[in-house]
Structure 1
Amino acid sequence: MHDYDAIIIGTGQAGPALAARLSQAGMRLAVIERKFFGGTCVNTGCIPTKALVASAYAAHMARRAADFGVTIRGEIAVDMAGVKARKDDISGKSRAGVESWVRGLPGCTVIQGHARFSGPHSVAVGGTMLRAGRIFINVGGRAAAPPIPGLERTPYLTNSGMMELGELPDHLVIIGGSYIGLEFAQMYRRFGSRVSVVEMAPRIIPREDEDISAAVADILESEGVALHPGAECIRVSGQTGSIAVTLRHADTAREIAGSHLLIATGRRPNTDDLGLEAAGIETDERGYIKVDDQLRTNVEGVWALGDCNGRGAFTHTAYNDFEIVAANLLDGNPRRVGDRIPAYCLYTDPPLGRVGMTEAEARRTGRPYLVARRPMTRVGRAVEKGEALGFMKILVDAADRRILGAALLGVGCDEVVHAILTLMYAGAPCDVMQRAMHIHPTVSELLPTMLGELVPADVA
């Protein structure tokens, strides 16, 4: 039995940063990683997919060169081997950086292998037994496959498998019309594949307001992505290069023939093989570890951070989990998960920056609210860049004039949204931003203008 002050299981976004703080505090700790350092974000999520998005954007803009008075002679071709090599290099350097960081921490022992609990404060990795009074679970999640007849006999890809794809699919069929599915849909259409997206809900990204869903659908369809909302996938069959996907829409069945199949219907936590029952750690019906508002499990001295706790599904929420745990444990600074404001982005082009409530959620509260909208065609910066698709929408409480939420679909809006997010954290009324002088020419300069054009929601 090897004794430590703390054990961290997993090196996703929360684990390495927490290891650094614990090391700085003089603790003797063990960090356990079963495969790749850096977790989903570094290896199969944010970093590699945004590298692919960048390559797809370059191809798209090259095809649009004439719109800007630029002549490119010859065919615009995409070298998928080169695209993958660039992505692998960026992701690989990030992974190596995380590993080097963790291995270099004073008092930190890195153990590679699969960890399983043998008791409330003991963990086995192969034949090695470890014990600590504090254990932090940061094991992340993975793609979930729905119970589609024939799927178990049909080759399919997930977000992880897409990272290993070195060739261009002739026809990529994507099951799932939400954030992951739509990002891959647009990028592979821009690479040159035919792309079809199947979504069981009546519209794509059903979590968003209808106007946002419709605008994103228009953008994708204008680029040639075939969308099939309101369609249930009832059967799949075939082999790579020849995949048959049978859909049912209302009472009508039809078949889509594709070369590759991507399943993008959600994720599940990596908690099913951790031996949590041996520690008495409780999970919910989906396998997520139950935690309180400070990320403590029901077992004293055990915390769960990141995707495995069901309290957020993003890199930024995982890192914020680390900040909350470190503040409470090491700084005497009480912080809670309940204090954070929901915020995320959909990285289609243009991107969707989202913060706070949707309009549907604001309407359900029953409180009076104000709304401001502006199409990107009325944003000078977007017009100048030749990227004036989308629109921006801000919701404001009619009583205290605090911002309730925003949906910003347009060029640069993945960055612009943070101006609104910061104001919301400050608890300040929207008048503070309305009176601010923003820089011209930018997308952000229109936020004060929009806030001067608020109208009651029933008038908008």
Structure 2
Amino acid sequence: MMRRFDAIVIGAGQAGPSLAARLTATGRKVALIERKHVGGTCVNTGCMPTKAMVASAYAAHLARRGAEYGVVTGDIAIDFARVMARKDKVRFDARKSNEDWLEGMEGLTFIRGHARFESPTEIRVGDEILSARQFFLNVGGRAVTPDFPGVADVPYLDNVSMMDLTEVPEHLIVVGGSYIGLEFAQMFRRFGSRVTVVEKGPRLIAREDEDISAAVRDILEREGIAIRTGAQCIRFVRSGGGIGVGVDCAEGAPEIAGSHILLATGRRPNTDDLGLDRAGIAVDQRGYITVDERLETNVPGIFALGDCNGRGAFTHTSYNDFEIVAANLLDNEPRRVSDRIQTYALYIDPPLGRAGMSETEARRTGRKLLIGTRPMTRVGRAKEKGETLGFMKVIADADTQEILGAAILGTGGDEAVQSILDVMYAGRPYTTITHAMHIHPTVSELIPTVFGEMRPAE
């Protein structure tokens, strides 16, 4: 017997449950299907558990610096089992809270299983067929295993298996010098591992401006993390009791040996086992579901939200996808994906907060630019905290005074950049910020100053 619903949500990540709540609140009969863990990547293997570990690593780092603040701490040791237990409590509590919410949601049928399309209006979950007028795909993504020579012959970790380590690696080699890799690199260095980052490209976090990349590299190297960029021939071999990584860089040893390997080289969408072809749903060459400005696929009534649509790779973009879909379908409020401003953070310490264009992207537009910078050594709050690494950079259109982008690499940067983002969304000129009075002493109080000191780009 077929069960019929008004709407079916596939995936209980950041967008799915919130959308289910909005749909059921209108009286719709809704099913939500999850094949594994409620909460998606963020709750289970991403933001929440990793930031819990970052917090533990920060506490260890600060404790080691205690003498700088006049605090006598004695020898600092890492109880890694307690670190991981704390991390697990954060993620399991969050998962349980989401599960309780879904199981108690009136009008929702919560089903555990793997959903696959049978047609544009039907899916199969196990032996059961379900049908609906609308489908919302929130199936997320997973780590990519790169096709490096020898990778199948050695044990390696990814962002999921890192969550289940039982001991601090003696020497962690991180393959991939981007956001996930760098967060784990600094974290485990602070837990006591030797850490080497191997990056195929010429610099870390290649999507950022060169000055940001250089400053991040300096921050990590100050803590004793080895950085090997320009690794054009990455390969793996067993080496004694560990793993040898061939890097073939222009400088340094052509091979390094480590106890553990973390592959942090990108992600792919979970779209290869959904039966999308049976529903006629189009995907691009990388497997991302093709969507329009309203996040609807080429098949009317089927929408894709979150990491699987290629329109964002963050928890906040996934949740914003939910808001866009709900606004268009339920609130008669036309909202588009292209209306949102790119923003994200890199959670090393100090963090990098980013909003809008990078300087490189802004220069490509051909506009006349104003650019302002200020080192964190000239930010009172940073000096008081003893955390003066990094700098601020802001970019504006010289003719229209429109804010084009900002980067704050420094203590509180992930929070301070939000005030710039809000002015950008309001469509106000940068003078709105220069005329604002901010609280002292904060990092944000220097944002008006750096905007007021902008100069024409050369």
Would the TM-score normalized by the shorter structure come out above 0.5? yes
In 2, the alpha carbon distance for the partners of 1:61 and 1:232 equals 36
CA distance in 2, matches of 1:384, 1:27: 54
Residues 155 and 239 of structure 1 are in contact (CA less than 8 Å); yes or no, is this contact kept in structure 2?
no
In the alignment, which residue of structure 2 is the partner of 1:4? 5
Residue pair 1:198, 1:233 contacting (<8 A) in 2 also: no
Superposition deviation, residue 450 in structure 1: 1.1
SS, match of residue 217 in structure 2: helix
3-state SS in 1 of match to 2:164? coil
Aligned partner of residue 152 in structure 1, secondary structure: helix
Q: CA 1:268–1:241 in 2, change beyond 3 Å: closer, same or farther?
A: farther
Deviation of 1:241 after TM superposition, in Å, equals 5.3
- Within 5 A, what are the aligned runs for 1:284-363? 284-363=284-363
Per the TM alignment, residue 352 of structure 1 is displaced from its structure 2 partner at its CA by 0.1
What SS class does the counterpart of residue 303 from structure 2 fall into?
strand
Q: Identify the residue that residue 67 of structure 1 maps to in structure 2.
A: 68
Q: Match for residue 256 of structure 1?
A: 256
CA RMSD of aligned residues (A): 1.1
CA distance in 2, matches of 1:251, 1:173: 17
What count of residue pairs does the alignment treat as equivalent? 457
Structure 1 segment 75-86 matched on structure 2, within 5 A: 75-86=75-86
Report 1:26-45 matches (<5 A).
26-45=27-46
- Aligned twin of 1:399: 399
The letter for the 1-side match of 2:297 is: T
Matches within 5 A, 1:123-272: 123-238=123-238, 242-250=242-250, 254-272=254-272
Gap change, CA 1:171 and 1:253, over 3 Å in 2: closer
Aligned residue type for 2:436: A
Q: Who is 2:20 aligned against?
A: 19
1:364-383 → structure 2 map (5 Å cutoff): 364-383=364-383
* Equivalent AA in structure 2 for residue 171 of structure 1: H
Amino acid in structure 2 at the alignment position of 1:24: A
Bigger drift between 296-305 and 249-258 goes to: 249-258
SS of 2:248 mapped into structure 1: strand
Residues 148-194 of structure 1 show CA distances to partners (whole Å, capped at 9, x for unaligned) of: 01111211111001001121000000100000000000000000000
Change (3 A) 1:324 1:125: same
Unaligned segments of structure 2, at least 5 residues: none
Instruction: Provide the rounded CA distance (Å) in 1 between the counterparts of 2:136 and 2:5.
Output: 12
Report the equivalent of 2:97: 97
Preserved CA contact (<8 Å) 2:153 2:237: yes
Q: Residue deviations 1:49-72, cap 9 Å, x none?
A: 000000000000000000101111
Deviation at 1:232, TM superposition (A): 2.5
Q: Give the superposition deviation at 1:380.
A: 0.3
Judge conservation of contact 1:178–1:206 (CA < 8 Å) in 2. Answer: yes
Q: What is the Cα deviation at residue 452 of structure 1?
A: 1.2
**Alignment partners' CA distance in 2, 1:150 and 1:316:** 36
- Cα contact 2:44–2:91 (8 A) shared by 1: yes
Q: CA deviation at 1:196?
A: 0.4
TM-score calculated relative to the size of structure 2: 0.98
Aligned match of 1:53: 54
Q: Deviations over 1:410-455 (max 9, x none)?
A: 0001000100000000000000110001010000000111111110
Identify if the C-alpha distance between structure 1 residues 240 and 350 changes in structure 2 by more than 3 Å, giving closer, same or farther: farther
- Partner of 1:93, secondary structure, is helix
Aligned-partner Cα distance in 2 for 1:213–1:252: 20
